[in-house]
Amino acid sequence: MTDIVIYHNPACATSRNALALIRNSGVEPHVIEYLKTPPARALLARMIERAGIAPRDLLREKGTPYAELGLADASLSDDALLDAMIAHPILINRPLVVTPLGVRLCRPSETVLDILPDLQRGAFAKEDGEQIIDATGSRLPA
How do the domains of the chain map onto residue ranges? 5-133
From its phi and psi, is residue 87 left (phi > 0), alpha (psi between -120 and 50) or beta?
A: alpha
Q: Work out the pLDDT band at 36, boundaries 50, 70, 90.
A: very high
Say how many residues make up the chain: 142
Global pTM value: 0.95
Q: Which residues are designated catalytic?
A: 12
What is the per-residue pLDDT for 2?
Answer: 75
Please give the distance of CA 66 from its chain centroid, rounded to a whole number: 19
Top-level class of domain 5-133: alpha beta
- C-alpha dist (Å) from residue 63 to 32, 81, 118, 140: 20, 17, 34, 32
